[in-house]
């Protein structure tokens, strides 16, 4: 299959050998699980349980709220101990509403959702509904509700479901192991999603540094038509959906558009496995595979983890972390986020927990920009990071927006390659957040203005109606008086003649 080049990109030290040959192992069931109501993009879920309730594994604890949201299910059986604010697994450390579930040790399943016997005879809406009921989100890290993405088939003419097995972030091997160990489930889930999307073809793209995964998937794909497995170059950030789409199909996604606008929808390989389990087995998303790695981890592993497990328990299962650990992050080292505490929970978007030493963090004191242009050369989005950073430093966000800061995918390539160690991606993340906040404020102001104008217009219409009614009443009164006067006139004249 012909492949196409992508702009820029880098080749960091991948260090996947720490866990790439470690088979997935199950984490012993924790005594307590902590389940935030927002483990996804969109609105937080609404609780359907109360403190003291006894629940079974797979039971709905919180329902999706609104068009973009995702349900939360019990990862084991037990009792609801509390529903309270707890620290979110995010650098902000802000609290968010969380359900505390004390395990009863039985791990007893609730009555499962009915399996869909023949998914390929089911309607697209039936598949989409099941995926929504199962609380499935993008497991590559974006956590966008998968059911919403499956609805794109009704809005776009789709030709390809592109399954993302690139896993280009250093250290992470959870997707690699899923593809090797559960290839049949991945391929089946992909075919089910393609059926729901109305996409006639499935392409599974895997970076060339995962040859065993490619072999496993090809063996399964050979059993079914219209599924192709392709190796793509090892180049960060190959896993970004726009870049993977361009590399595999040659189609460039326009700025501020979706890959669906060029006929392609991208889903993660672990998401495909979750769809298989929801549709074929009636099981919701209650666990995920997490890579625990880094120089600070005693025994790096790939672990199937119940959602809501504390990060500290995960690290303890891997023998703990050394004193040399400089930073613990969720995700990969390029786009991952530092954790505010080890007491935060593993959530649906947690692909990795990395304990990094000083030599692994690439942290140095920054110095002035030398205008070398490396950030421009290596930017995979074709942007000019040096100019965007200059505008942002000087609080000229409008100018940064004009030259494309909102098209930045926050891959961190510019920061990684910068010889002055300037944290460029931090500037861009700040700017995107600030621009989004200003845009929300602008829309709020415009909405308020529209409401005020509509209110004033309504008052004016009411006042006008009152004036017209008063004028009409006055005119009617005057007409009645005139008519009465006209009737009285002949009588007076008749009396005078007599």
Q: Which of 131, 268, 302 is nearest to 186 (CA)?
A: 268
For helices 385-393 and 424-497, give the axis angle rounded to 10 degrees: 60
Instruction: Report d(CA 276, CA 193) in Å as an integer.
Output: 9
29, 105 contact by CB (below 8 A): yes
Residue 414 annotated as binding site = yes
CA angle in degrees (0–180, nearest 5) for 285-289-292: 145
Residue 381 annotated as binding site = no
Residue 411 annotated as binding site = yes
Residue count of the chain, please give it. Answer: 498
Assigned token pair, 126: 């039936």
265, 152 contact by CB (below 8 A): yes
Residue 379 annotated as binding site = yes
Instruction: Report d(CA 134, CA 459) in Å as an integer.
Output: 49
Q: With H, G, I as helix, E, B as strand and everything else as coil, classify residue 409.
A: coil
| Beta pairing class for 301-306 and 24-26 | parallel
Instruction: Report d(CA 179, CA 209) in Å as an integer.
Output: 13
Instruction: Report d(CA 266, CA 24) in Å as an integer.
Output: 25
Q: Which of 187, 75, 49, 73 is nearest to 133 (CA)?
A: 73
Residue 418 annotated as binding site = yes
* φ, ψ for residue 345, nearest 5 deg: -95, 155
The CA-atom distances, in angstroms, between 157 and each of 161, 198, 263 are: 12, 8, 6
If you search the block for the tokens 């309270």, which residue do you land on?
84
Q: Find the helix or strand (DSSP H, E) in which 400 lies.
A: helix 397-402
405 in the Ramachandran plot: left (φ > 0), alpha (ψ -120 to 50) or beta? alpha
The CA-atom distances, in angstroms, between 285 and each of 94, 146, 149, 184, 495 are: 25, 12, 17, 18, 102
Q: With H, G, I as helix, E, B as strand and everything else as coil, classify residue 258.
A: coil
Instruction: Report d(CA 401, CA 388) in Å as an integer.
Output: 8
Q: Which value, in Å, is the radius of gyration of the alpha carbons in the chain? A: 30
Q: Which of 416, 433, 432, 426 is nearest to 338 (CA)?
A: 426
The CA-atom distances, in angstroms, between 263 and each of 252, 268, 391 are: 11, 17, 35
For residues 193, 410, 360 and 307, what is the CA-based torsion angle, rounded to 10 degrees? -40
Residue 375 annotated as binding site = yes
If you search the block for the tokens 């005078």, which residue do you land on?
496
Point out the annotated binding site. Answer: 369, 372, 375, 379, 408, 411, 414, 418
- For the annotated binding site for [4Fe-4S] cluster, the residues are 369, 372, 375, 379, 408, 411, 414, 418
């Amino acid at each position: 299959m012909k492949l196409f080049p992508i702009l820029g990109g880098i080749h960091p030290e991948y260090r996947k050998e720490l866990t790439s040959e470690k088979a997935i192992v199950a984490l012993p069931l924790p005594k307590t699980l902590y389940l935030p109501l927002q483990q996804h993009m969109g609105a937080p879920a609404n609780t359907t349980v109360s403190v003291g309730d006894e629940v079974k594994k797979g039971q709905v604890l919180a329902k999706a709220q609104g068009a973009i949201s995702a349900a939360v299910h019990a990862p084991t059986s037990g009792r609801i101990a509390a529903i309270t604010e707890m620290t979110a697994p995010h650098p902000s450390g802000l609290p968010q509403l969380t359900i505390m579930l004390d395990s009863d040790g039985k791990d007893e399943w609730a009555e499962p959702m009915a399996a869909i016997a023949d998914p390929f005879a089911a309607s697209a809406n039936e598949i989409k509904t099941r995926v929504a009921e199962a609380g499935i989100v993008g497991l590559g890290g974006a956590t966008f509700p998968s059911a919403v993405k499956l609805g794109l088939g009704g809005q776009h003419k789709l030709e390809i479901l592109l399954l993302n097995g690139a896993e280009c972030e250093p250290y992470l091997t959870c997707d690699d192991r899923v593809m090797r160990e559960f290839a049949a489930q991945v391929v089946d889930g992909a075919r089910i999603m393609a059926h729901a999307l109305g996409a006639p073809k499935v392409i599974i793209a895997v970076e060339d540094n995962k040859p065993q995964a490619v072999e496993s998937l090809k063996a399964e794909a050979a059993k079914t038509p219209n599924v192709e497995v392709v190796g793509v170059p090892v180049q960060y950030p190959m896993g970004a959906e726009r870049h993977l789409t361009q590399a595999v199909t040659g189609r460039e996604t326009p700025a501020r558009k979706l890959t669906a606008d060029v006929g392609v929808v991208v889903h993660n390989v672990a998401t495909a496995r979750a769809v298989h389990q929801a549709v074929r087995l009636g099981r919701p998303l209650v666990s995920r595979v997490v890579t625990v790695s880094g120089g600070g981890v005693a025994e790096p592993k790939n672990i199937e983890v119940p959602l809501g497990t504390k990060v500290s328990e995960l690290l303890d299962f891997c023998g703990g972390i050394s004193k040399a650990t400089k930073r613990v992050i969720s995700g990969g080292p390029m786009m991952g986020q530092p954790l505010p505490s080890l007491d935060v929970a593993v959530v649906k978007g947690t692909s990795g927990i990395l304990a990094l030493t000083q030599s692994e963090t690439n942290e140095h004191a920054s110095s002035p920009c030398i205008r070398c242009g490396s950030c421009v050369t290596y930017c995979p989005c074709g942007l000019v990071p040096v100019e965007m950073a200059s505008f942002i430093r000087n609080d000229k966000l409008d100018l940064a927006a004009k030259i494309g800061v909102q098209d930045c995918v926050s891959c961190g390539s510019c920061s990684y390659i910068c010889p002055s160690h300037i944290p460029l991606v931090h500037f861009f993340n700040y700017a995107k957040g600030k621009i989004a906040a200003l845009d929300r404020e602008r829309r709020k102001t415009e909405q308020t203005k529209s409401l005020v104008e509509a209110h004033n217009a309504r008052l004016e219409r009411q006042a006008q109606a009152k004036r017209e009614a008063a004028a009409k009443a006055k005119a009617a009164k005057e007409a009645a008086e005139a008519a009465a006067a006209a009737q009285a006139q002949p009588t007076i004249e008749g009396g005078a003649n007599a």
